[in-house]
Amino acid sequence: MTLAMLQAEFGDWLMTGSDRAAARFTPAAQAGLLVYQNNYRAALMACLHESFPQTVQWLGHEDFQASAAHCIDDCPPDSWSLDHYAAQFPHSLAAQWPDDPEVAELAMLEMALADAFVGPDADALDGTALGLVDWDSARLTWVPTARLLTLRTNAQAIWSALASGRTVPPAQCIPHAATVLVWRHAETACFRTLDPLEEALAPRLFAGMKFADVCRALVRAKGEADGIRTAGLWLAQWAGDGLLRRDAMT
């Protein structure tokens, strides 16, 4: 048997735990195979537990274990990084809990926050540097951790309540899907729901829209004075939240 064949059979044993896979090894190897099988599943289970603490709380330990075990059975890891393994869990939850869409969305939000926590670094434009920007020509350039999620449930409210120990609201679908912005600010992963006007402009905003065009769009929507005032408020909020990338805008 070549090493490639042996490794394929060992992998088959780990993934399936089947008698058929175990029978390809000698009787003397059987006890050891069980140790490796246990290690394999325990490592993946621990990865999912650590990556989705609020989803564990929401589902409860037993249901989470069962869902994680299902994911481990259905989706073997194929990357060197356990972070990459965790990324597929929300998809597995969506298939496992079709009538409870908040479960997968809660996990998706947790995964986005985890990604933002270790995402690429970038100097953010702070309030003191706003004067260095040529706002007539500047294009909005966002820090690389900024990412938009579309949520059809109140998963973000559930996450916030679970994370802060407050009373958790019942799950509900929301009439209009919410656009949630996730990013990292001062080494903390954070999120907020975009307001309706920000949400309407989001596809252009996050594609590098010129700030002058943002002002024009807001003036069209809200009138001259209110539009310019809103543009200023948005800019102050984006800068205060560390969302704009300094090196690309100054």
Partner 1 sequence: MPHPRFSGFGLGLRKPHYADFLETAVPVDFVEVISENFMIPGGRPRRILNQVRARYPVALHGVSLSVGSAHGLDADYLGRLRRLVDEIEPLFVSDHLSWSRAPRFNAHDLLPLPYTTEALDIVCANLAHAQERLGRPMLLENPSSYLAFAQSDMTEWEFLEQVCARTGCGLLLDLNNIHVSAINHGFDPLAYLAGLPLDRVRQIHLAGHSRGETFLIDTHDQPVPPSVWTLFAEVIARLGPVAVMIERDDNIPPLAELLDELDQARALARHGVAA
Gap between the Cα atoms of 108 and 7, Å rounded = 33
Asked if 14 interacts with partner 1 (CB under 8 A), we say yes
Q: Is the dihedral of CA 67, 73, 76, 81 positive or negative?
A: positive
CB of 103 to partner 1, least distance (A): 25
Task: Identify which range of 37-45, 55-63, 203-211, 217-225 contacts partner 1 by CB under 8 A.
Answer: 37-45
Asked if 184 interacts with partner 1 (CB under 8 A), we say yes
Contact 211/140 with Cβ under 8 angstroms? yes
Asked if 190 interacts with partner 1 (CB under 8 A), we say no
Asked if 18 interacts with partner 1 (CB under 8 A), we say no
CB of 5 to partner 1, least distance (A): 8
Gap between the Cα atoms of 14 and 41, Å rounded = 8
Q: Which is nearer to partner 1, 186 or 225 (CB)?
A: 186
Burial class (CB in 10 A: 0-12, 13-18, 19+), 101: middle
Site for partner 1 in 70-109 (CB under 8 A): 76-83, 85
Helix (H, G, I), strand (E, B) or coil at 152: strand
Q: How far is CA 128 from CA 8, 132, 225, 236, 242, in A?
A: 58, 9, 24, 11, 12
CB of 9 to partner 1, least distance (A): 10
The CA-to-CA distance between both ends of the chain, in Å, stands at: 62
CB of 143 to partner 1, least distance (A): 10
Gap between the Cα atoms of 58 and 162, Å rounded = 8
Site for partner 1 in 191-250 (CB under 8 A): none
Asked if 177 interacts with partner 1 (CB under 8 A), we say no
Asked if 23 interacts with partner 1 (CB under 8 A), we say no
Asked if 119 interacts with partner 1 (CB under 8 A), we say yes
Gap between the Cα atoms of 248 and 139, Å rounded = 9
CB of 196 to partner 1, least distance (A): 31
Applying CB under 8 A, among 40, 52, 159, 234 the residue interacting with partner 1 is 40
Gap between the Cα atoms of 208 and 140, Å rounded = 5
Residues that bind partner 1 (CB under 8 A): 1-4, 6-8, 10-11, 14-15, 25-26, 28-29, 31-33, 35-36, 39-40, 43-44, 47, 76-83, 85, 117-121, 144, 184, 187
